[in-house]
Amino acid sequence: MPIGVEVVTPEGVIFSGGARSLVAATSEGDLTVMAEHAELVGDVVPGVVKIEQLDGDLLDVIVHGGYLQIHTGVDAAGQLFEEATAGERTTRVTLLAGEAELISDVDLAHVESDIAEVTLQLEGLRSVLSGHGAEDEGVREAAFAVSQAEARLNRAELRKMSVSKRSAN
């Protein structure tokens, strides 16, 4: 029996439809969701969420962290897939991510350019930080900029790794 899956970000819906299964990494380990899964609310750690679509195709979504909710009950999946009939017990997975994108949409050359740019930015910011006291307002701002740049670099490296793995398969 299919499940209904929605992957949503603040910018919009990444995927909405029927699936055979969904596999996501959580802080407790990998989680596979199929029909009749127990109710659950949990976190999703950065990584690749795999959605096995109804036709058997695998859809890979890079997720930079978030939360998921699993609900199983009468009409839980709503109108997420055509096979669902009113009054039927179904399972719905809603994944809310701050950032997410389909691996197929990632431009590897652009990601590598981002990594180079952020690496240069980090080197410059770290040189500003060296030898200055933490009480300096400029130093605090630079430290914050370093943490933001490191987060951006981590996201870019995750994107690159995910796309490279996908290309190797």
Q: What is the pLDDT of residues 38-82, one digit of tens each?
A: 999 999 998 899 999 999 999 999 998 999 999 999 999 988 887
C-alpha torsion angle, residues 56, 49, 60, 83 (rounded to 10): 30
| Euclidean distance between CA atoms 20 and 24, whole angstroms | 14
Our CA angle for 158, 146, 8, nearest 5°, is 40
Q: What is the pLDDT of residues 9-31, one digit of tens each?
A: 999 999 999 999 999 999 999 99
Q: pTM of the entire structure?
A: 0.75
Amino acid making up residue 95: L
Segment 78-100 shows an average pLDDT of: 88
| Euclidean distance between CA atoms 120 and 50, whole angstroms | 33
